[in-house]
Structure 1
């Protein structure tokens, strides 16, 4: 292990002895200057997406990293691995044997940051609001299995589900299930701009220029009652245009912590221990990258074209050339470390083969070369994205079977264009809402999927997804989960490419860095503290 790099194991039980020598999250100071955290995530309000931080709309990792600090949920994901734990709730559990009735009791004395009491009626109002607004981001689908919400007094809430769902406690840990104050949010429309109010660990204020957030200031909420301990008084999140600008800022001491997305070159440099003042923390990650297909678009409407692309793409070559040891080839939407994973694409296609791809296209009477444009976002998934798509272009064009061009677009317009079906083939990433196989499948394949994909498989929607949710023992759901993954490999509505690791860099007087991200790539700013060098 490099002297500057702490590699965290995936199993939380192994963390304690490793962290003892590095300063645990409890060692941070509650005082001192604000801790400044850098990110390349952009936060922009546009005509098509005017409410980037409304829990009923936000459905990207950047927005959720703001909301998880500010808007409290009944349940929360622990700082390591494991099942969700109560946060706004004092306790939650299924009260029937069929996983269809879920009851929670709020903590006593729970308050919003303005001092007003949080009640069960507020919980019900907040979730029904998200379901009523039904924003085009598709985030409401996380709650769409709720049939009715019942309140009993000021502190008790009962969720009656349409069908059994053992993953429901995880869904209650996501920002769309956040508890909102009805005086701050309209019940029927989104809250435009960058104001956020809740009962979470921090209050929030954004510095906005030209409809984009430059910095966001998180101030410790004195009224917070929940499952986490806040180890600082203030954190400033600063948005950078690219990884190089963020790296220059940490070198100069303008920021204390660097999160997503660092470039592969930056990670390699820090891993080598070249900077005596900055430490790199490497964690196992569940981020995946994939190509999505508009299966109604003429260029890729034929399944044979999508299968031929799957047969040609060389994941190992792509990862080696662009990301090195910072990523691994992925042969399913479900990452290899998640229970229920199956190597369905490798089982279906084996090693890359131009000859097999040619046979597929010939059998379907497809004229070659097939002309296709691959679209990617220039500023959301890291500086290496363009290089990644150049490699994909080379691989496909090198087969002689495709005539591929690539086109990059800023995220502020890219995400809405994709949802409107503007792209035939497009690159996307997925940071899980929660670490379960269901969350790598249902958001892509179920009704109201967040991609707005025209691909529909009734067996997946009506039979396999419901079957897979019936049991809390996720290993026992492997039959349904494997069939879903095999179907995806055959129909190719999406093409998984790689699974990435997580990295955080911090100046060496910052403590708690090992827990700054959880397994779902969510920031946990409350873990950070300022110690001594």
Structure 2
């Protein structure tokens, strides 16, 4: 190839066309050696994370990228993004005018990988199990609008919702709604370790070292029956401790595909290369990064401190110095390509200004410099996390209004500590559950938010989120969504920083790379095949 970077067209939220593949386990070319995919996602079993691959517990992009290959859901996000389409279901839809009763009919002849038939009772069991377990990961919040689940015969399942929820089809496409076998998954207990069973396009076998998953082997499921065409017989996912080792292995041909997270330097090098056997694919992304605040902590309890930080941070400089063209400044928790986005932080604060930040602190009688520690995780969001926080530290300290330290912690310790309110200010990333504004708002601002933040706004929770969910036409939800974003900009429980692009590197002889990653960073391993090297 002369041009080594393939840039795929952007897709805009719910306005993107539906491009769903159709077929089953007999589709695709298959054959050939296993396709080997590298990732820096780490999977560890611990006291704090006993069941990283149980769909009732898992709630991070890495574990979801395993479960999406193995756990079949009623609905699925289509190839080119857009509204979800039936997967384990033959058809689904709201059966009332208020978006409170949702019915699905299962495909005929569905089976778990082990051969047992799947019925509506299995769907009911799976959804009720995830809700009742209420895992501390917060993933069950995606099913918070479910009141009761009813079955009619073996193939029809009906969801009665507590309130209108036009986003419910999206939620049924996420791994928490994966259909599990009651013979393998207890109703009142998580399935510890790395064992997975389901009815998705692949079966799964884990290779481990101690408490860590080193390799996941995905083998084509002969009993799979759904909407997907599976283009390979086997995929191996290898977990790397760092991007540099992963990059060296794809150059040597030890792996075929390199996914998240590559370093900015690797991406820049691959994008400029014209003679390598490795191609870089750029995909429109919805990943965001942000700061979150424990608003009960003394150091940031006064919102003037948080507002001053919002007034000082120069997103353009941050992105330019750390990520270059691989990210864009973000002025809302809702990315710019999602329907309902508003530049609320820019509208509120404008360009960075030390004088305006000084006035905010003075009016609130805050003594300066304000001492803070910005916390970040060292091994979950890529190698650029430390340079990013060093840049944030410099910007705040150069103002003379803050005295900021930074502290990095491995994810295995970081996430439990954050949940226990150990940090006043901490950095997080977010890959959406589905491509809708609700997925960038409700997880952080609704009841039982996934970050365990003490911030609670009754208008957002009781009025604006329910209002937005009543609108099946998401453009009609814009007023409610904009008001939510404006409130966040005023109160600053969260401070958006940037929105990232995403990249996949592949060997020349791998096909299907245009669709191996969707905008929500979901891996679609069934798209990969082995062809002729260019």
Mean alpha-carbon deviation: is it higher for 462-471 or for 267-276?
267-276
Give the whole-Å Cα distance in 2 for the aligned partners of 1:328 and 1:27: 39
Question: 2:395 is matched with which residue?
Answer: 395
Q: Is the 8 A contact 1:288 1:500 kept in 2?
A: yes
Deviations 1:182-204 (A, max 9, x none): 01011011111000110000000
Shift, 1:419, TM fit = 1.0
**Alignment partner, residue 335 of structure 2:** 335
Tell me, in whole angstroms, the C-alpha distance in 1 between the residues paired with 2:219 and 2:331. Answer: 42
Gaps of 5+ in 1: 17-25
Deviation track 1:399-432 (CA, whole Å, cap 9, x = no partner) reads: 1111111111111111111111111111100000
- Kept in 2, the 8 Å contact 1:73–1:175? The answer is yes
Per the alignment, do residues 336 and 252 of structure 1 end up closer, same or farther by CA in structure 2, a change over 3 Å counting? same
Query: Is the 1:207–1:215 contact (alpha carbons within 8 Å) kept by the matching residues of 2?
Result: yes
Which residue of structure 1 lines up, in the alignment, with residue 90 of structure 2? 90
Residues 11-26 of structure 1: pairs in structure 2 closer than 5 A: 11=11
CA deviations over 1:380-413 (Å, ceiling 9, x no partner): 1111111000000000011111111111111111
Indicate whether 1:315 and 2:312 are aligned. no
The residue aligned with 2:460 is 460
The CA deviation at 1:29 is 3.6
Supply the distance in 2 between the matched residues of 1:180 and 1:462 (Cα, whole angstroms): 33
Q: Give the corresponding residue for 1:366.
A: 366
Q: Write the mapping of 1:107-506 to structure 2, written as runs, cut at 5 A.
A: 107-506=107-506
Tell me the equivalent position of 1:76.
Answer: 76
User: In the alignment, is the contact (CA less than 8 A) between 2:378 and 2:386 conserved in 1?
Assistant: yes
TM-score, normalised to structure 1, is 0.97
Contact kept in structure 2, 1:418 and 1:451, CA below 8 Å: yes
CA drift of 1:263 comes to 0.5
Report the Cα distance in structure 1 between the residues aligned to 2:210 and 2:28, rounded to whole angstroms.
36
**Cα shift readout 1:353-399 (whole Å, capped 9, x = no counterpart):** 11111111111111111111111111111111110000000000111
Q: Is the 8 A contact 1:288 1:499 kept in 2?
A: yes
* Closer, same or farther: CA 439–421 of 1 in aligned 2, 3 Å: same
The 3 A distance-change label for structure 1 pair 470 and 48 is same
Residues 28 and 531, structure 1, Cα contact 8 Å, conserved in 2: no
Q: Is the 8 Å Cα contact of residues 27 and 229 (structure 2) preserved in structure 1? A: no
| Contact 2:468/2:477, CA 8 A, preserved across alignment | yes
- 1:435-475 CA-partner distances (Å, limit 9, x unpaired): 00011000010001100110000000000000001111101
- SS of residue in 1 equivalent to 2:318: helix
How many Å separate the matches in 2 of 1:510 and 1:295? 48
CA contact (8 A) 1:27 1:529 kept: no
Q: Give, in whole Å, the separation in 2 of the partners of 1:14 and 1:285.
A: 14
Question: Contact 1:333–1:441 at 8 Å: present in 2 too?
Answer: yes
- Separation of aligned partners in 2, 1:80 and 1:289: 24
CA distance in 1, matches of 2:175, 2:475: 27
Aligned-partner SS, 2:485: helix
Q: What SS is found at the alignment partner of 1:287? A: strand
Number of residue pairs aligned between Structure 1 and Structure 2:
524
Q: Give 3-state SS (helix, strand or coil) of 2:295's partner.
A: coil
Deviations 1:34-57 (A, max 9, x none): 000000000011111111011111
Q: Distance in 1 between matches of 2:104 and 2:468?
A: 24
Counterpart Cα distance in 1 of 2:260 and 2:98 = 40
TM-score, normalising length: structure 2: 0.96
Aligned to 2:23: none
Displacement over 6 Å in runs of 4+: 12-16
Shift of 1:14: 10
> What secondary structure sits across from 1:504 in the alignment?
strand
Quote the offset at 1:160 in angstroms: 0.4
Distance 2:359 2:17 in 1: 50
Offset of residue 276 of structure 1: 2.0
Cα-to-partner distance string for 1:216-247 (whole Å, 9 max, x where unaligned): 00000000011110000000000111110110
- Partner of 1:284, secondary structure, is strand
Which position in structure 2 is the counterpart of 1:23?
none
> Cα deviation per residue 1:259-311 (whole Å; 9 max; x = unaligned)?
00000110011100245200000011100000011111111111000000000
- How far, CA to CA, are the matches of 1:156 and 1:189 in structure 2? 26
Q: Distance in 2 between matches of 1:368 and 1:246?
A: 45
Gaps of 5+ in 2: 19-25
Structure 1 residues 56 and 27 mapped into 2: Cα distance closer, same or farther (>3 Å)? closer
8 Å CA contact retained: 2:2, 2:274 = no
